[in-house]
Homo-oligomer: A and B are copies of this chain.
Amino acid sequence: MITVILGTGPGLGAALVRQFTGQGHTVVAMARRKDFLDSLCEEEAKKGGKIIGVPCDASKPESIKDAFAQIPKSDKVGCLIYNASAPFRPASILDTTPEEMEAAWKATCLGALVASQAILPGMVAQGYGTILFTGATASIRGSAKMSALAVPKFGVRALAQSIAREFGPQGIHASHILVDGVIDTEKTRQYLGDKPIPQDSLLSPSAMAQVYWQLYAQDRSVWTQELDIRPFVEKF
């Protein structure tokens, strides 16, 4: 079985790769950074994980189409995980240029449409398949200075619901994961510096990846279309 993951940077993306190869899936890992893709492939090669690295720029529909054309035809695609999003910095509405908003929307939301369109016909033909979308608190709440994250993320949620409602009865499971909190990555820890980090107060990427796997593996009589995940100490 093939799982396609678009957005496999360090952190959640890499953990998803490990989770799904660990379960025997062939992972087609897509990301912009070729060097990080290479290191992921090397890591998997060492432990016998099946992985194919494909460079892809989620903000460009053509790049997504090219990347999806490289998915091997020899096996079925059971799962697509859309984990890409534009880089984001909080900014006033007045400091968010239309160009920035558009770029954010393309990488986060339009790319999710293009990737879904590339994968759905095959899933429909085989009668099953799972598409998982990484969301955020900003998917359901437009906070001050967060518009360039919230606008695209709200959009992805709309898309996930539309796909779930149109394709669910054809056996396609679309699910949206509301990630609330900060993911525990090297970058996060560098950023937090000497600040004490209570145990389990950051989202563990491998624990997150397990949740994604459980959604993929759900019996189709009990599909989850949306769930939230957050550290036990997270205010919400």
Minimum CB distance partner of A202 in chain B: B221
**Does A223 sit at the interface, judged by CB under 8 A?**
yes
Q: Are A221 and B231 in contact (CB under 8 A)?
A: yes
Minimum CB distance partner of A207 in chain B: B219
Nearest CB of chain B from residue A236's CB, rounded to whole Å: 7
Which residues on B sit within 8 Å (CB–CB) of A142? 157-162, 164-165
Bound: A145/B162 CA distance, A:
7
Q: A147-B113, A207-B219, A221-B202 are in contact. Are A155 and B227 (CB under 8 A)?
A: no
Minimum CB distance partner of A140 in chain B: B158
Q: A117-B93, A144-B166, A224-B228 are in contact. Are A151 and B161 (CB under 8 A)?
A: no
**Does A150 sit at the interface, judged by CB under 8 A?**
yes
Q: Which of A132-170 contact B (CB under 8 A)?
A: 138, 141-147, 150-155, 157-169
The stretch from A27-35, A67-75, A186-194, A210-218 touching chain B is A210-218
Q: Which of A178-236 contact B (CB under 8 A)?
A: 184, 200-204, 207-208, 210-211, 214, 218-234, 236
Bound: A201/B202 CA distance, A:
36
A residues contacting the other copy or chain, number (CB 8 A): 76
Q: Are A200 and B229 in contact (CB under 8 A)?
A: no
Nearest CB of chain B from residue A114's CB, rounded to whole Å: 5
Q: A98-B113, A158-B153 are in contact. Are A203 and B221 (CB under 8 A)?
A: yes
Bound: A204/B223 CA distance, A:
11
Q: Are A151 and B159 in contact (CB under 8 A)?
A: yes
Q: Are B227 and A231 in contact (CB under 8 A)?
A: no
Nearest CB of chain B from residue A11's CB, rounded to whole Å: 13
Q: Sample 19 A-B pairs with CB under 8 A, ordered by A number.
A: A93-B113, A93-B159, A93-B163, A94-B121, A98-B113, A98-B114, A105-B110, A142-B160, A144-B162, A144-B165, A150-B158, A153-B158, A165-B236, A169-B232, A200-B219, A200-B220, A203-B221, A211-B224, A226-B227
